[in-house]
Amino acid sequence: IAKQKGKNCSHIFDIEKDVAVKHLNEELSRIAQALKNNEFTLYYQPKVDLRNYEIIGVEALIRWNHPDKGVLVPDLFLPTVKHDMLDIEIGKWVIHTAMEQLQSWQALGYDIPISVNISPLHIEHAEFVKDLKDILAQYPSINPKLLEFEVLESSALNDIELVSKVMKDCSELGVCFSIDDFGTGYSSLTYLKRLPAKYLKIDQSFVRDMLIDKDDKAIIQGIIELAKVFNLNIVAEGVETPKHGEALLALGSYVAQGFGIAKPMPAKELLSWAGNWKQHPCLIDGRD
Ligand code: C2E
Ligand code: MG
Ligand code: MG
Ligand code: MG
C-alpha cells in the first residue's frame, strides 16, 4: 500500500511540476513578447552629493508598461527570467536604451552618467565584454565613462575570478562598477580587495533604519571605514528623509540616492526635475 501511495504522490508531484513548467513558459513568452513590443522602459533615479547638492548621475531602473496592469516594478517580472537567456536579452536592451538616452541628453547639452544594473547571469555570460565593445562602438560620440554598471555583491562573489576579470576588462574600456546592495552579501576583506570597483552602494535596509537601530548605524560606519581603506567611493541607497541625509553627512558619506531626493522617474521628467533641484536643492520626507 505504501508503495502504491508513494507512486500516487510522485504522480501528483509530476502533474504539479508540469503545471508549474507550463506556467513559467507562458510567462516567459509573454515577457519575450513585451520586449518585442517595446513595453519596457527605463526610469531614472538621481544620485546627489549632499555636500554641494551636485547631481552625480542617475541609476536606470527597468519598468514594464503593461497594457492591462499598468507600470510594473522589476521584482514582478525579472525573477521569472533569471535562469533564462531572456534575462540576457533584457540586459542588452537596458544597456542599449541607456546609451540611446545618453545620446539624447548629449544632444541637449547634458552629460549625466547612467548606471545600469547587470544581472548575475549576464555578468557571467561569455560574450559580456565583447557585446559591450560592440555597443560602445555603435555610439562613438558617447564617452564610455558616462556608462556605469552595478553588480550585486552576491553575484560578484559567485565566481570572483571571472567577475573581477570582467570588471577589469570593462574598466579598461572606461566603464566602471559599483557593488550594489553592499553589506548583504558577506564579502570578506580579501574578496573586496580583488574587486576592481569604484563605488560601494550601502544597502538601503541599513540606511533606512540607521536612525533607530544602533547596529545598522555601526554597520554603515564600518562600511565607510572599509571604503577608505580600499579607496572606494560610497553611495548610500534608501535616503528617505532629511534626517538620513544629515546623519550620513556626519559620518562622512556624501553621495546619496533615495525617495528623500527623488523617486525613479521617466526620462522625460528628469531634466525638469534637475532644473528644479538646481534652483531649490533640498531633501524632503519621501517615505510612502
Ligand atoms: P537596486 O539596484 O538596489 O535599486 C534600488 C531600488 O530601491 C529600486 O527599486 C528603487 O526604486 C528603490 N529605492 C530607491 N530609493 C528608495 C528609498 O528611498 N526607499 C525605498 N523603499 N526604495 C528605494 P526597483 O526599481 O523596484 O528595483 C529593484 C531591484 O531590481 C533593483 O535594486 C535591481 O537589483 C533590480 N533592477 C532594476 N532595474 C534593473 C535592470 O534594468 N536590470 C537588472 N538586471 N536588474 C534591475
Ligand atoms: Mg542598483
Ligand atoms: Mg541596491
Ligand atoms: Mg536591491
Q: Which of 63, 123, 237 is the pocket-test mutation for ligand 1 (most atoms within 8 Å of CB)?
A: 237
Task: Give the residue, 140 or 12, on which the prediction is more confident.
Answer: 140
pLDDT of the residue at 77: 98
Please give the ipTM for the structure prediction.
Answer: 0.98
Span 44-59, mean pLDDT? 98
Residue 184's pLDDT band (boundaries 50, 70, 90)?
confident
Under a CB-based contact definition with an 8 Å cutoff, are residues 58 and 255 in contact? no
- CA–CA separation, 51 and 55 (whole Å): 11
Q: What is the pLDDT of residues 201-230, one digit of tens each?
A: 999 999 999 999 999 999 999 999 999 999
- CA–CA separation, 86 and 92 (whole Å): 10
Ligand 1 atom closest to 264 (CA): 11
Which grid cell sits at 242?
532629511
On the question of pLDDT at 2 being above 70, the answer is no
Percent of residues, the chain, with pLDDT higher than 90: 86
Q: What is the pLDDT of residues 63-90, one digit of tens each?
A: 999 999 999 999 999 999 999 999 999 9
Span 116-138, mean pLDDT? 97
pLDDT of the residue at 7: 58
Q: What is the pLDDT of residues 21-34, one digit of tens each?
A: 999 999 999 999 99
Residue 8's pLDDT band (boundaries 50, 70, 90)?
low
State in Å: Cα 181 to ligand 3 middle.
4
241 touches ligand 1 (CB under 6 Å): no
Which grid cell sits at 183?
553589506
The mean predicted confidence, pLDDT, of the chain is 94
The residue whose CA is least distant from atom 22 of ligand 1 is 238
On the question of pLDDT at 15 being above 90, the answer is no
Ligand 1 atom closest to 119 (CA): 44
pLDDT of the residue at 273: 98
40 touches ligand 1 (CB under 6 Å): no
pLDDT of the residue at 11: 79
Under a CB-based contact definition with an 8 Å cutoff, are residues 103 and 141 in contact? yes
Which grid cell sits at 189?
576583506
Q: What is the pLDDT of residues 85-111, one digit of tens each?
A: 999 999 999 999 999 999 999 999 999
On the question of pLDDT at 115 being above 90, the answer is yes
- CA–CA separation, 154 and 184 (whole Å): 8
The residue whose CA is least distant from atom 44 of ligand 1 is 119
Ligand 1 atom closest to 240 (CA): 18
284 touches ligand 1 (CB under 6 Å): no
Cα 138 to chain centroid distance, Å, stands at 23
Which grid cell sits at 144?
564610455
264 touches ligand 1 (CB under 6 Å): yes
State in Å: Cα 61 to ligand 1 middle.
6
On the question of pLDDT at 1 being above 90, the answer is no
- CA–CA separation, 124 and 178 (whole Å): 16
Residue 67, Cβ neighbours under 10 Å: how many? Answer: 9
Ligand 1 atom closest to 122 (CA): 44
Task: Give the residue, 54 or 191, on which the prediction is more confident.
Answer: 54
Span 124-148, mean pLDDT? 98
On the question of pLDDT at 6 being above 70, the answer is no
